Structure 1
């Protein structure tokens, strides 16, 4: 399957990143985590002392951001100005601030431009996939960034399942206290992002995969089945 583009969207805790990496590995494709790009932009602005409430200043900073996304699904990287920020962008301070950047429409325009460029590069002769294609995941990949993708999937799950997964990821436990500690971060981020992009309901031509009752391998297989059905 040459130059295959798989677009996967979904809310927080739906398993987008893990599933997308698994699908990319199975198909020998590149992998693009667009959510990490918004996190990297947040890290860059905070590191440079940019007031996130100053939307024009944030947009200017992001346009100048020297971002490099590593697209190997087995070892994806995020580098800004030569600094590996892969761990730093997952810290609580970034999670708490990223919505201010992700809802900045000028920032979204710039990062969407970069995302389309990354997808087009892997369609051609990408450094990782050698032109075989890419799996890109985020909030608006199926509808805005790559509405012409060969396969478009909305990956969803119940609120209970999403909170438990994120709690396990962040706190190492899905007990009641961990779930409650994660609730605000997950639901607030989804609510904030819903103001600028729709990712709770599948658009026409987008296949919904509900992972509420599926484990990771089963969810990966469900998405691969959608790819195979494309023919």
Structure 2
């Protein structure tokens, strides 16, 4: 595993995977690539254009034509990267509650996943990258040198999401967040295409009682073993 150049980190929402991946990439000097933002950008564009998320044909057509780009942060407002959809900065817009409600459905469409996966693989296969998502180790980059799958109780993950929303000054009602997160877990883990699950050779890390820094140190040890 020494010198792992392609690292895949998967897991459910608010399991800590994005924070850990970003810090791990910084420590290693690797590219940090949150693949989930691509699906969020498509979902945002669907809603922005007044397309029904249930209209699969229209959603897929948009995904195939939409230019989604992820770049190093150009604004110092706490973001870890810039997300552009057809040249428009949607970095924070893709975190809206409406996007949360519909991203699972949009990302489950085969045509959408095909369009996004192709680009994700191109970036990942360059090497020196930490990729984070929900199917990196199973679908996007099954040949990754190191695969980590982060988990935490749904209650702890709901508390984390609540704190994240409150920090941005957005409404954050715990019970509602908990219900939405449990529903998304069920949907993501049972969908027929690329269901949320660890790769057979992934290493599971339960982050419920761990700080992000503790998880990063554990990951660094695995990279260098």
> TM-score normalized by structure 1?
0.86
Aligned length: 215
Match of 1:165 among 160, 176, 186: 160
| Aligned counterparts of 1:214 and 1:2: Cα–Cα separation in 2 | 25
Asked if 1:39 corresponds to 2:62, the answer is no
Distance 1:39 1:16, change over 3 A: same
Structure 1 position 204, deviation (Å): 2.0
1:83-162 equivalence runs, <5 A = 83-120=88-125, 122-123=126-127, 133-162=128-157
Structure 1 position 69, deviation (Å): 1.1
Structure 1 position 32, deviation (Å): 0.9
CA RMSD, Structure 1 to Structure 2 (Å): 2.1
The DSSP-based 3-state class of the residue aligned with 2:224 is helix
Structure 1 position 51, deviation (Å): 2.1
Asked if 1:198 corresponds to 2:195, the answer is yes
Match of 1:215 among 204, 207, 211: 211
> TM-score normalized by structure 2?
0.88
Which 4+ stretches in 1 moved above 4 angstroms? none
| Aligned counterparts of 1:112 and 1:143: Cα–Cα separation in 2 | 12
2:76 maps to none
Distance 1:11 1:48, change over 3 A: same
Query: Do the aligned partners of 1:171 and 1:178 also contact (CA within 8 Å) in 2?
Result: no
Query: Do the aligned partners of 1:31 and 1:136 also contact (CA within 8 Å) in 2?
Result: yes
The DSSP-based 3-state class of the residue aligned with 1:79 is strand
Mean Cα displacement is larger for which, 86-95 or 180-189? 180-189
Superimposed CA distance per residue, residues 146-189 of structure 1 (whole angstroms, 9 cap, x where no aligned partner): 0100110001112222121112112349xxx8421211221222
Structure 1 position 3, deviation (Å): 7.3
Gaps of 5+ in 2: 74-78
Query: Do the aligned partners of 2:9 and 2:132 also contact (CA within 8 Å) in 1?
Result: yes
| Aligned counterparts of 2:4 and 2:217: Cα–Cα separation in 1 | 20
Superimposed CA distance per residue, residues 52-89 of structure 1 (whole angstroms, 9 cap, x where no aligned partner): 211111111100001111257x8311001111100100
Gaps of 5+ in 1: 124-132
Structure 1 position 30, deviation (Å): 0.4
